[in-house]
Amino acid sequence: MEATAQEVDAAVRAAHEVRGSLADRAVRAAFLRGAADALEAARDGLVETADAETALGPVRLTGELARTCYQLRAFADIVDEGAFLGVVIDHPDDTATPPVPDLRRYKVPLGVVAVYSASNFPFAFSVAGGDTASALAAGCPVVVKAHPDHPGLSELVAKVLRRAAREQGVPDAVVGLVHGFEAGLELIRHPLVAAAGFTGSVKGGRALFDAAAARPVPIPFHGELGSLNPVVVTEAAAAERAEAIGAGLAGSMTLGVGQFCVKPGLVLVPSGAAGDGLVKSLTDAVSDTDTGVLLDHRMRDNFLAGIAERTQLPDVQSPVTPGAGGEHTVSAGFLTVPAGKLADEGEHDVLLEECFGPVTVVARYDDEAEARAVLSRLPGNLTATVHLSTEEAEGRGRGAEILAELTPLAGRVLVNGWPTGVAVAPAQHHGGPYPATTSTSTSVGGTAIERWLRPVAYQNAPEALLPPELRDDNPLGLPRRFNGRLEH
């Protein structure tokens, strides 16, 4: 099933040759909606195959497929609206300094996009996931590198997308699919690949990112690599609702057997009685959590090795010890450590690294300075969360100050909530400073389309030669900025 270099080349070249078939926005939108309809029609078979390969369960997978279809339709709406094209028209102005010529700017698709599927979301971040949906919406064909944890599902979903393409008169080569580690490397190096999207490990993503940069013609690589997703619980919040915060944390860190990219992996909790109450609540809730199956044995082995390494560190305790729940399963748990052990570089630094699976680290801080010292050592994250008391949330206390401290750390900052659950919405941002992602873009939400576009400006081009998007009479009815005024 592993694709050869020749097969990768054929898939990329075929996609490149048919990129013009996506030029019509109406066709693109119809294709995306048709793909959503077709996936829904094939739901039962797709979910059955996905569950057999991932053991994520039909309830979770049915919900994820619904999210995937919603995503496709949301991008169809974005294509219809046309604001993503960023049309700006400036007529000549000889009075300006320097004089302004006739300038007309909009965005065009980059070309073939390589998409690297994730293991933990076999629908939403895989063959028909956000990278594919946003790339097709931008007018870019895709070649997907299937994840080895769900190869059969990948083939089925690709067939559904290709059938939906044909029904709109689009060649099915706009969606290519290849399998295998070497195929992934061949794909990122192919001269006709114009950009890439990746969701996975820091090690794998960084290798592809470096390969994309080392090409004779470097290309954009939008990778989501890893995230600790820190949480700060203020002393006042812990005193006010310790039990609720502990139970909420347990639910978030064990959701999906801890295999979500936004799982809270480090939680700063105050020392003292208020923090003790939170830890007790967390202990009770995690103790009641069932064992679960990780996505593959490699991940299970890495999880168990990571737990063993962390629990052997001095001053690390495990009120509920995570580990092997059975021959194929793992049990959830959490570790505690004095926050001072993380404030300076040392042997405890491994606790500041993501451990993929149902575990979190609770760091007990003695004062605000100690909590700030730990935060100052963290790398970039997808999310950062603060739990405030009612009074702090109303602006009395350090709430705004803590929010400002968390903002440089993450792409999404939450107050009194939990990061698991990434809404598909226009204002969503699913990205963050490195190593959370390799770019400043998002892989969820409407602005994910911007990754696959580049601006181009025409200067003093005769009206008759311009694309319809840039003509004065606006025959396509696009939102635009016309001589400094927004037009809708």
Q: How many CA atoms lie within 13 A of 411 on its CB side?
A: 26
Four-residue CA torsion sign, 361, 366, 372, 377: negative
Structural contact between residues 353 and 337, judged by C-beta atoms closer than 8 angstroms: no
Q: Which residues does residue 364 pair with via DSSP β-bridges, in sequence order?
A: 269, 338
Exposure string of 289-300, with b = 16+ CB inside 10 Å and e = fewer, is beebbbbbeebb
Examine the residue annotation and report whether 392 is marked as an active-site residue of this protein.
no
- Could you say which of 53, 64, 224, 235 is catalytic? 224
Beta-carbon contacts of 354 under 8 Å, excluding residues fewer than 6 positions away, are 202, 226, 227, 228, 265
Give the span between the Cα atoms of 474 and 472, in whole angstroms: 5
Q: State both tokens at 62.
A: 């049915």
* Of residues 381, 383, 356, the one with CA closest to residue 437: 381
What are the phi and psi torsion angles at 29 (to 5°)? Answer: -65, -40
Structural contact between residues 50 and 123, judged by C-beta atoms closer than 8 angstroms: yes
- Could you say which of 69, 140, 261, 355 is catalytic? 261
Cβ atoms < 10 Å from Cβ of 400: 11
Tell me whether the omega of the peptide bond preceding residue 98 falls within 30 degrees of 0, making it cis. Answer: yes
* Of residues 54, 72, 205, the one with CA closest to residue 120: 54
The CA-atom distances, in angstroms, between 154 and each of 42, 121, 128, 140, 269 are: 13, 12, 9, 20, 42
Beta-carbon contacts of 170 under 8 Å, excluding residues fewer than 6 positions away, are 18, 21, 22, 27, 31
DSSP string for residues in 36-99: HHHHHHTHHHHHHHHHHHH---HHHHHHHHHHHHHHHHHHHHHHHH-GGG-EEEE--BTTSSSP
Kindly tell me the number of DSSP H helices and DSSP E strands found in the chain.
Answer: 14, 20
Cβ atoms < 10 Å from Cβ of 163: 14
* Of residues 273, 269, 351, the one with CA closest to residue 314: 351
Examine the residue annotation and report whether 224 is marked as an active-site residue of this protein.
yes
Give me the sheet containing 103-109, strands edge to edge.
453-459, 103-109, 87-90, 480-482, 485-487
The identity of residue 480, as a single letter, is R
* Of residues 359, 244, 235, the one with CA closest to residue 303: 359
Residue 209 host element (H or E): helix 202-214
Catalytic residues: 224, 261
